Amino acid sequence: MLEQALREIEAAPDPQQLQDIRVRYLGKRGMVTQELKRLGALRPDERREAGQRINRLKSVLEEAIHERREALEREAVRRQLESESVDVTLPGARLKQGGLHLMTLVTHRLIEIFVSLGYEVAVGPELETDYYNFTALNFPQEHPARDTQDTFFTTDGRVMRTHTSPMQVRYMESHRPPFRLIVPGRAYRNEAVDVTHEAQFHQLEALVVGERITMADLKGAITEMATALFGRDTRTRLQPAYFPFVEPGAEFAIWWTNPRTGEQQWLELGGCGMVHPNVFRAVGYEGVTGFAFGFGIERLALIPFGIPDIRHFYQSDLRVLNQFRGAV
Ligand code: PHE
């Protein structure tokens, strides 16, 4: 019986079955208990010897059951730990890496180009006063040129700036010439939105003021920018145009070769000219000349990258955004 019982105890797969074995041998009606009960039928000398034997058997079984129980418990803990453990050799879950928006990349590139040419960078308020957006820039009240820059007005008469040019005036009010300045930033117009028009867009403004600054310096500055962007083959074109805050005024375009298609074309970018004397008068400057130009940054991102619709820039569509990570 001892051998048999020990084998069963050793093989018990879990605490419940171990308990069953215990009951079968050592319980009230267990085999060992039964034997103890039978001792009464024996002669006293036999009874003593048998009694000792059965008690030894009992304590051997109890010890074996105790050990088996502890072994099962240790095993359960081990399994639990194993199931909760972390496999540090598994490859990690990769985080998706973001990137800068194409507009940001192009703007940074432009800033880099102009900073390398010695320009300062300033930014200004998007909600402007009528004075800075129009009046100080030589758009008098009721001037028809205001109609070309319809925008959004607040009830207290302020305006969402229609261009970055108001920063020309703000900057000149607080700085003395000579200086070279660029102003990147958002502008707004009351546009019917379509593939090439949005009610909000970005401009880069440039203003250079000093002694004897000329139209040749203006053309040189635009050409420097064009060369930095498109390489040596580029050309710059100025065509007469009217903006109240410059005289003479022009629209400028850059000759551009698309490296993907080989196609060559003029990329009409924006306006430029020599700062109008009335603008210098508004900020109290005398004895200086200067040039200014300004253009929409979207065009510079849309056309070279072949983006068919300006609205893609503002829809946060990852299929669009992912294409231009690190593109500039
Ligand atoms: N501010 C003008 C526009 O938005 C562009 C411009 C800037 C023209 C500087 C001349 C000089 O249309």
Q: What's the pLDDT score for residue 142?
A: 87
| Rounded average pLDDT over 35-46 | 86
Q: What's 92-127 look like in SS3? A: CCCCCCCCCCHHHHHHHHHHHHHHHCCCEECCCCCE
| Neighbouring residues of 71: CB distance < 8 A, sequence distance ≥ 6 | none
With a Cβ cut-off of 6 Å, ligand 1 is lined by: 163, 165, 243, 246, 270-273, 292-294
Q: What share of the chain in percent tops pLDDT 70?
A: 100
pLDDT tops 90 at residue 131? yes
Q: Ligand 1 atom closest to Cα of 250?
A: 10
pLDDT tops 90 at residue 51? no
Of 306 and 135, more confident: 135
Tens of pLDDT along 139-166? Answer: 988 888 888 888 999 999 999 999 999 9
| Rounded average pLDDT over 169-180 | 98
Q: What's the pLDDT score for residue 97?
A: 82
Q: Ligand 1 atom closest to Cα of 295?
A: 5
Provide the pLDDT confidence category of residue 96 given band limits of 50, 70 and 90: confident
Q: Which of 137, 149, 245 to mutate to test the pocket of ligand 1 (most atoms within 8 A of CB)?
A: 245
Whole-number Å distance between alpha carbons of 323 and 105: 13
| Rounded average pLDDT over 108-121 | 98
| Peptide bond preceding 178 in cis form (omega within 30 of 0) | yes
How far does the centroid of ligand 1 lie from the alpha carbon of residue 226, in Å? Answer: 18
Whole-number Å distance between alpha carbons of 164 and 296: 10
How far does the centroid of ligand 1 lie from the alpha carbon of residue 163, in Å? Answer: 7
Contact 253, 223 (CB under 8 A): no
Amino acid of residue 285: Y
Average pLDDT, the chain: 93
pLDDT tops 90 at residue 241? yes
Whole-number Å distance between alpha carbons of 232 and 18: 89
| pTM attached to this predicted model | 0.74
How far does the centroid of ligand 1 lie from the alpha carbon of residue 155, in Å? Answer: 26
Amino acid of residue 273: G
Amino acid of residue 294: G
Among 39-48, 110-119, 152-161, 241-250, where is mean pLDDT lowest?
39-48
Residue 273: which H helix or E strand, with range?
strand 264-275
